[in-house]
Homo-oligomer: A and B are copies of this chain.
């Protein structure tokens, strides 16, 4: 049983991630950085905001002048002027004075707060009645209240969401250093696999995995490179693997779920220069026959041939390696898991981690996870699935109505 000496637990496989390194860096305009991984630290180039601004339409005042003001006993203030948007006020404000201001406007020197327009009334042209008192800094954002100059606002390795792109713009960065999108090779193997435009026919099956994996790779923020179908022929497989390792940053083989074909795949991978087999089997279900090789600095995966198993292995095992490859500082296996109640009992074998397909069901306004029924080999089960429920290797199963955490399947 030589070929099984490298079967690992999922935890042990995850410990291999730091042995791989991220792709190179490129500079991208901020209109296109969203969903990329930041490759530099970003510091505030100035205070944000750089001036005390109003968050309401109303009157800038010295708050003390409004203390005690009410509907029955309004405060009377002299109108000093009006502040245009984007302009520096040309006057200071003293107690007893007010100035008309719009949302986003700059407070004049001396003013520390804004009274909402709803709580005021103009009296003639030069006075305003205030019906409600304001506290210092009420309805304003103070200078540097958001960020102080020179503080680190974003860290290398974070995912750039729309708000982080906006933040970079706020600090005057019209482009950012980000990690390149990794290129990931997809190779389908197996004598039984035919191209999508051929009739599947008796004994044959169309190439499904190339397109499923292409979608998963794209969703993971990488670029799929399709190498097509390779028959179970050592020379052909060797040639295409070698080419893929050279041209891309990671290689995903899929197919060969039989022991014989897996052994043959391992032999072919081992014969590529500077390549070591790190994992030959993982104690998870589905996904046990997964292979991981390291060719130079690149991960080469042998995924199960069945599309449902390949998808689960991608999500649970491969994705954290892609996160590391694309420069994420947090490459932990999964993001937020969704806590829900389980709709029925699930049994599980001990000694392996099970990943059970579930779909979300809303019942009486509460969210439940319902295990998707049907043999795991059915594609239908993946189409119906919203997420995966992990059952630990020491658990015999999970009982109906217990709270479980679901890994979303996007």
Interface on A for B, CB 8 Å cutoff? 30-35, 46, 48-51, 53, 55, 57, 84-88, 102-106, 117, 141, 145-147, 160-174, 190-193, 196-216, 218-219, 224, 226, 232, 257-261, 305-307, 311, 336-340, 360, 366-367, 375, 377-380, 382-383, 385-386, 408-410
Contacts and interface: CB of A to CB of B under 8 A. Distances in A.
21 contacts: A30-B211, A31-B224, A33-B215, A34-B219, A50-B202, A51-B202, A85-B261, A88-B202, A88-B203, A106-B203, A146-B380, A147-B380, A162-B212, A162-B213, A162-B214, A163-B382, A166-B208, A169-B212, A170-B208, A170-B379, A172-B197
A258 B34 contact: no
Contacts of A34: 214-215, 218-219
Given A46-B199, A85-B258, A166-B307, 4 more contacts: A51-B202, A104-B305, A147-B379, A165-B214
Contacts of A48: 379
Nearest to A381: B146
In the A-B complex, the 8 residue pairs with the smallest Cβ-Cβ separation, listed nearest first, are: A162-B215, A34-B215, A166-B212, A86-B192, A102-B258, A103-B257, A86-B191, A163-B382
A121 to B, nearest CB: 15
A106 B192 CA distance: 10
A311 B141 contact: no
Given A211-B169, A379-B48, A202 B163 contact: no
Contacts of A174: 196-197
A407 to B, nearest CB: 13
Contacts of A160: 215
A171 to B, nearest CB: 8
A326 to B, nearest CB: 17
A315 to B, nearest CB: 10
B87 A203 contact: yes
A206 to B, nearest CB: 6
A70 B143 CA distance: 81
A408 B338 CA distance: 11
